[in-house]
Structure 1
Amino acid sequence: MQHFDWSDLAPLLALIHVLGLIAACHAILNTRTSQGAIAWAVSLATMPYLTLVPYLFLGRSKFAGYVDARRLRNETLRERAHAPERAAPPPSSSWPAYEFDPRAIRTFVQLGAMPLVPGNSVRTLVNGEATFAAILDAIEHARSYVIVQFFIVRADALGNLLKDALVACAARGVRAFFLYDSIGCFDLPSSYTAALSAGGVTVHPFATRRLFVNRFQLNFRNHRKIVVVDGERAFVGGHNVGVEYLGAKPPLSPWRDTHIEVRGPAVANIQFVFTEDWYWATQRLPDCEPPPQKPHDDGMFCLVMPTGPADRQETCSLFFVEAINAARKRLWITTPYLVPDEAVFAALRLAVLRGVDVRIMIPARRDHYVVFEASTLYAFDAIRAGIRIFRYKPGFLHQKVVLIDDVAAAIGSANLDNRSFRLNFEIMVLTVHRGFAAEVEAMLLRDFDDTVEIDRGEYRRAPALRKITMHLARLFSPIL
């Protein structure tokens, strides 16, 4: 019997180490942040067996060709389509929530290239049943067109309901557009999209390259969730399409998430965000110009904030920094993942120092092990800085909500992590209105009743091995 000679593996091991060093040099030259460059370079140089393959999929934080092409397409689109015009915020005496800093509004307007528009009506949709009941009802009553965009779509009971609703729309002459992320929906069977296409729905995947789905590029994903019906109703929030979002996936159930329904002039701005994505993916404009909308009596001011890796600035991170800086009395944030960058974490610490009630609600259950461990360590650092951290106990917390004082709330798809800040396309809708802020406050107070506030002991009582795991997980925070 011939014994295996480990020396036979020496050339292969040497090759892996050489490739690891080459990849480390590539990371130093191409990763957007110094933290990310250090994390990748150290891990590739010391642990190439574990990190070389993940770097192939996750390591490219800078994709210059894509960014340039995307910007060019967006500029072309704004010349061809009806793009929202920037506008200065109205005089403080003319809007009810005049306490909100007008300078912050001007910053948001410039940052997102979207105006603050009055005359909207916004309502919260708490959890999956309320969200999809409202979405499916709107689609059922559509008269002209329906736009659907999600990061994840499952071919399960809920996904089939959506598919049947869209096919029924097309059958009665309603134009239906369906955009899905090619990586988020990697397990969506081709039969699902084929059935949509056969039923008259215009279907297309979103990919970093238009000509083919780039399976080796897990960054730059389209994490937005947008539904628009007839240009009159828009839905934005944290839900994707799958039964787990209805709470049917133990052990994460019951799933806690929030969507909003928007009516009024802001719907056209939400639709334009979809139009940009559709134009990139298809090189065509969707045939669905939103009609003019009359202002609603609710009088809510809304600002749509689209963010993404093709922006000239790190729009999502700067949005959170400015929202935190605008808080004077209270800042409550809910997020499934707490992996902030230095700018956001510094803004949170400064808010505490100026006397703001800063609270962050995060899950007690995990859906991604590495992110959860990194979040736990960031939570410990936040507590030491005076930020109050709460863990939601009943099920997995997935909602993305920011409540600022008593006058404004932002709800959408962006998490408090670097993937949302720099690697994903996201959308948030900031609503400035005391009544809506009170509605969001009441919702969050109910959630806080189901939380436990954590202290420094959660980290200090952790076994030594888990502490090491937390610190190792945080090394990958630039791509989490």
Structure 2
Amino acid sequence: MVGSIVSAIYLINAIFALITILIKPRDVAAIWAWLLVLFALPVVGFVLYLFFGRGLTDKKKFYLRQSDLKELENFQNFRDDTIEHYDSQTNEVEKQAFVDFFSSLNQMPLTRKNELTLLTDGQEKLTSLLNDIEEAQHSIHIEYYAFVTDEIGNQVLRLLEKKAAQGVQVRLLYDAFGSHGTKAKDFNQLIANGGEAQTFLTSQEALLRFRLNYHDHRKIVVIDGKIGYTGGFNIANQYVYTTKKFGYWRDTHIRIFGAATSLLQLRFLMDWNVSVSEEKKVGYHLDYFFKKVDENNEQHGSADIQLVSSGPNNEREQIKLAFIKLITSAKKRIWIQTPYLVLDESVIAALKIASASGVHVKIMIPNKPDHPFIYRATQYYARQLIKENIEILVYEAGFLHAKTLIMDDEICMVGSANQDIRSYRLNFETSAVIYDHEFLEQLSNKFLEDEENCSTMTTETVKEMSTWLLFKQQISRLLSPIL
């Protein structure tokens, strides 16, 4: 009797598994990964799939795409007043090819004369951010995957409350799932002082709608339309303090003064307007965007910057295409820092091509997990890549969370996107594409400094891995398309 019931459950499970997975077009690797979960964990697998496997509805994707197109159209109305800082034509043939490619991904122009500051320490980034917020006169727009109301988060929040009370327009957008422990009531005083706080669209009623897999992973701050921040740091204690779990948190962020802040502002307004009710949508205002340089707003920067954004509402996977373009275009080197190395076949192929072409490929990963399954998958892909003459460096001085890519001596990328399938397909991400020799040298020097705190994964170290560890890596790899 019990055997018959179990057999019936498995049969029903198999039928529903096939129907559920195959009814909607999806990546083949993801299909097999979900089938593995559904067959290995009857009933439980369905619960997991209900919450983490269902994609955004076609209606939601259409809404997000149309909203972005509308905002891009609105943005064109403000470019005439800042035209000297937007110029998609260069005098360099190779650079022009990259500019055209990145422009085609998001319709984002090339911005000129940006002043960049590299921030690689949590306290350094926090201090810089707080100083700029303190000086804000008109608007403060903040978007974070994790805005946690712990000691650091409350320090930032108290200052935002103060600036809102002074009449500065403060808008805070956050991902509810990334901001563990943060509650809507934590922002009551900010709202009472005239500010606004909002969860990102995909984390609104996500539990009721059975869609927990799509996160706003961006980190964007724009102050008075002049100063912008983006990169890997979030707002929480662990990003500033040395903790027992992670040790020192090693990350990379950039502070921008210049026209590229208008691109960050545009991205913020896109995300804000799609997440709020009609009456809370923000109309475009020239004060939100970088203006012409005048006597009181002199600009001394040399960096040209474009912005690349992507999300599950667009099947082009723009961030991944940006990575592949740089990897396959390299002539001398590709240096990558990423906390997660969970690659799909197209990126693996690009890395193999680069290495086989004589390009020096180095990838730096952390020595410890913040997500166990993802870290085991990272180890799996790392040991596969060393077979392709790709150097894998393991950071030993804390937790490496930086998301950077350096191509030759020409271009680099800094942003929120990891080298993993989640960043390629599931998360909403933003990265800056930077053309500037001086900044690239700074980023390269920091990479070399980090390398001094690294061990190297070799065939010998792989041989020392236990059978149980290798088994966990293999299982995690099978699940990697849905991690």
Q: Unmatched 5+ residue regions in structure 1?
A: 1-6
Residue correspondence of structure 1 range 18-417 to structure 2 within 5 A: 18-19=12-13, 21-30=15-24, 32-61=26-55, 63-82=57-76, 89-93=88-92, 101-208=95-202, 216-282=210-276, 283=278, 284-285=281-282, 289-294=288-293, 296-417=299-420
CA distance in 2, matches of 1:83, 1:39: 46
Shift of 1:469: 1.5
| Deviation (angstroms), 1:17 | 5.6
Aligned pairs for 1:414-453 within 5 A: 414-453=417-456
Shift of 1:213: 6.7
Structure 2: which amino acid aligns with 1:53?
V
**Kindly tell me: are residues 9 and 172 of structure 1, through their superposed partners in 2, closer, same or farther at Cα, counting changes over 3 Å?**
farther
The residue number in structure 1 matching 2:464 is 461
Structure-2 separation of matches of 1:296 and 1:180: 31
The TM-score normalised by the length of structure 1 is 0.92
The residue number in structure 2 matching 1:3 is none
Q: 1:83 to 1:278 in 2, by over 3 A?
A: farther
1:304-329 Cα distance to aligned partner (Å, 9 max, x none): 11111112511111111011122111
5+ long unaligned stretches in structure 2: none
Whichever residue aligns with residue 72 of structure 1, its letter is Q
Question: In structure 2, how many angstroms separate the alpha carbons of the residues matched to 1:318 and 1:152?
Answer: 26
CA RMSD of the aligned region, Å? 2.3
Distance 1:224 1:14, change over 3 A: same
Q: Percent identity?
A: 30
Q: CA deviation at 1:41?
A: 1.5
**CA displacement, residues 54-100 of structure 1 (integer Å, 9 cap, x when unaligned):** 2122212453222111112222333445478798743335xxxx7x5
Aligned pair in 2 of structure 1 residues 214, 78: CA closer, same or farther (>3 Å)? farther
Give yes or no for contact 1:28–1:38 (8 Å, CA) kept in 2.
no
Report the equivalent of 1:4: none
Which residue type is aligned with residue 73 of structure 1?
S
Provide the rounded CA distance (Å) in 2 between the counterparts of 1:460 and 1:83.
Answer: 60
Deviation at residue 447 of structure 1 after TM alignment: 0.5
Alignment: residue pair count: 469
2:303/2:436 contact within 8 Å kept: yes
CA distance change for structure 1 residues 424 and 150 in 2, over 3 Å: closer, same or farther? same
Q: In structure 2, the residue corresponding to 1:474 is in which secondary structure? A: helix
Does the C-alpha gap of structure 1 residues 128 and 364 become closer, same or farther in structure 2, counting only changes over 3 Å?
Answer: same
**After the TM superposition, which of the residue ranges 235-244 and 80-89 deviates more from structure 2?**
80-89
Letter aligned with residue 140 of structure 1: E
Measured in 1, the distance between the counterparts of 2:28 and 2:91 equals 41
Structure 1 residues 388 and 84: CA distance shift in structure 2, 3 A:
farther
The verdict on how the C-alpha distance between 1:442 and 1:83 changes in structure 2, with shifts beyond 3 A counting, is farther
- Normalising by structure 2, report the TM-score: 0.91
Q: How far does residue 298 in structure 1 lie from its aligned partner after superposition?
A: 2.4
Question: Do the aligned partners of residues 394 and 50 (structure 1) sit closer, same or farther apart at CA in structure 2, a change above 3 Å counting?
Answer: farther
Distance 1:61 1:319 in 2: 23
